[in-house]
Structure 1
Amino acid sequence: MTSQAKPIIRAFFDEPTNTVSYLVADPATRKAAIIDPVLDYDHRSGKASMKSAEAILAAAREAGYAIEWVLETHAHADHLSAAPYVKLKTGAKVGIGEHIRDVQKIFRPVFNATDVSGDGTEFDRLFKDGERFRIGEWDVEVMHVPGHTPADIAYRIADSVFVGDTLFMPDYGTARADFPGGDARSLYRSIQKLLALPPETRLFMCHDYKAPGRSDYAWESTVAEERANVHLKDGVSEDDFVAMREARDATLPAPLLLLPSIQVNIRAGHLPPPDANGVRYLRIPVKLVA
């Protein structure tokens, strides 16, 4: 534990994907981690850049931080990860939950991605539920919070928890659970695990979409505030939550970047291997429907 009461946390919001990435640092040692970095990818042109990742790295350089970790909360379905670029520039290790193996096995046949291991070796570290590691002198606890996907994890650092895609801001609700391997009942139980933390615990979201009536983006709440979440308040039972979540999910369109994101993110942010002509391609499975 450092002499500081809290780690330094800086958020970076990517409006095209409504994603929040975080730079988390120990002020005593200047060691730091980047959580859920975004690769800027234009689906219409196929062009990509590292603008968002560079903004985080520039902030780290200016503050004198040494990036030790790139931490993924899960294999995202709405943005491509910039983890390989951060690793290239800093030497950081890339970590994700151990159940990424399940996600790889689900999606490997979908994309005929024969290069994908299925054992998670594309990543440097696979975290187990309850495992601990360090960012500088700060102790980090891993919490397995499945439901959105089988592999979702949250990172608890002191009084702060980076919840990934489990919860949104209290006025917006909770994550969808209809992706392959997702499960609304598991999501409810994962959320209860988070809400059992002390009420003053700070929760940092991975996304925000501005709830109706709210003019600004927001991504930080507390356990106490989330206990009044619009999807959870008034003692909503597990069965009621599951019924609500499944009905709501049935109305939601697929994320714009679902297909490219999954292909890249199950490879720890790497593009598929090049074809014989030296070009890398993202696959779009097509299923004809009568």
Structure 2
Amino acid sequence: MKFARTSASSGAGSPDVTGFYDDATGSIQYLVSDPSTRKAALIDIVLGFRPQSASTDPDSVDAILRFAEHEELEIEWILDTHPHADHLMASSLLKERLNKPNAIGEKVIEIAELWRGHYNMPDAFDPRADFDHLFQNADQFEIGDLPVRVILSPGHTLGSISYVVGTDAAFVHDTFMQPDVGTSRADFPGGSAATLYDSLQTILQLPDHTRLFIGHDYGTDNRPGPAWESTVLEQRRHNAHIGGGTSKQAFVKQREARDKTLALPDRMLHVLQMNLRAGRLPDPEDDGRHYLKIPMNTF
């Protein structure tokens, strides 16, 4: 793992946050912890996947768990923000290894129904069986002594959620990018640029000092290294797509035009079949192997 860095707690009620960068997909994985109790949660952890050979590896999982052990952190939760289209979720593997609950937003049920149609697999995907908790908007739980609040943040997908942890940390996945990049795409099935705008505005209502931790970064010509932390104030003032009070109409026009130029992620049709099972492979067939079904000429 090439890049990892920790954003330290600012004091009582503020979590430590370590981000781990996945080079293959530009994804950021998070370990968020309560400094006072040493309790922690994992957010959007990646299971390695090579589409060329349809093979998986646990290298990222192993590295993050070693870090948590070194820091003497006890992981209480395995969290995801949405069924990812660009990387394979490690939720199922982590649940097996740690025997801790895994969770995602409740609208994953609607996303599963949508993708059953795209895959022509009417009996596939049962999120209630593969996830221990399906969070609703405004649900609350704890990481150690830190309160966590769930915010429904659709747009990139119809069921994405954000986690607001303690007094000053929010994990906002594929909504914002870094301020110099802008925002995330909204053209996947179930996505909506207009809905994404509303979600961005909800996040911007958090206190100015709130640290925002995003789902992806790829660097820029002026900033070659990955970055994933900003603040609400920085995003409100400087975000390339929405900063300075961009109207909804202007944002939607810009976002939809940009999305038309983007290729689909090379892993999407592979990994969504597994991510709608919390990253679990399809059941083995009579030869003991696992198989994926890929729709042709659909997208």
- Tell me the TM-score normalized by structure 1: 0.95
C-alpha distance in structure 1 between counterparts of 2:170 and 2:266, whole Å: 28
1:272 to 278, 282, 285: 282
C-alpha distance in structure 1 between counterparts of 2:160 and 2:298, whole Å: 31
C-alpha distance in structure 2 between counterparts of 1:124 and 1:95, whole Å: 6
**Matched-pair contact (CA < 8 Å) for 1:165–1:205:** yes
C-alpha distance in structure 2 between counterparts of 1:245 and 1:25, whole Å: 34
- The answer to whether the aligner puts 1:132 opposite 2:140 as a matched pair is yes
Q: Which amino acid aligns with 1:7?
A: P
Q: Matched residue pairs, number?
A: 288
**Matched-pair contact (CA < 8 Å) for 1:102–1:118:** no
Q: Which residue of 1 aligns with 2:252?
A: 242
Aligned pairs (5 A) from 1:46-57: 46-57=54-65
Classify the secondary structure of the residue corresponding to 1:109: helix
**Matched-pair contact (CA < 8 Å) for 1:68–1:91:** no
| CA shift for structure 1 position 122 | 1.8
- The answer to whether the aligner puts 1:232 opposite 2:242 as a matched pair is yes
**Matched-pair contact (CA < 8 Å) for 1:100–1:120:** no
| CA shift for structure 1 position 233 | 2.4
Question: RMSD over aligned Cα, in angstroms?
Answer: 1.7
Which is further off, 104-113 or 38-47?
104-113
- The answer to whether the aligner puts 1:184 opposite 2:193 as a matched pair is yes
Q: Which residue of 2 aligns with 1:167?
A: 176
C-alpha distance in structure 2 between counterparts of 1:140 and 1:260, whole Å: 32
Gapped runs of 5+ residues in structure 2?
A: 1-10
Q: Which amino acid aligns with 1:189?
A: D
The C-alpha deviation readout for 1:32-69, integer Å capped at 9, x for no partner, is 11000001111111221100011111111112212111
C-alpha distance in structure 2 between counterparts of 1:288 and 1:223, whole Å: 38
Change (3 A) 1:123 1:265: same
Aligned pairs (5 A) from 1:33-182: 33-117=41-125, 120-158=128-166, 159-182=168-191
**Matched-pair contact (CA < 8 Å) for 2:93–2:280:** no
C-alpha distance in structure 1 between counterparts of 2:34 and 2:256, whole Å: 40
Gapped runs of 5+ residues in structure 1?
A: none
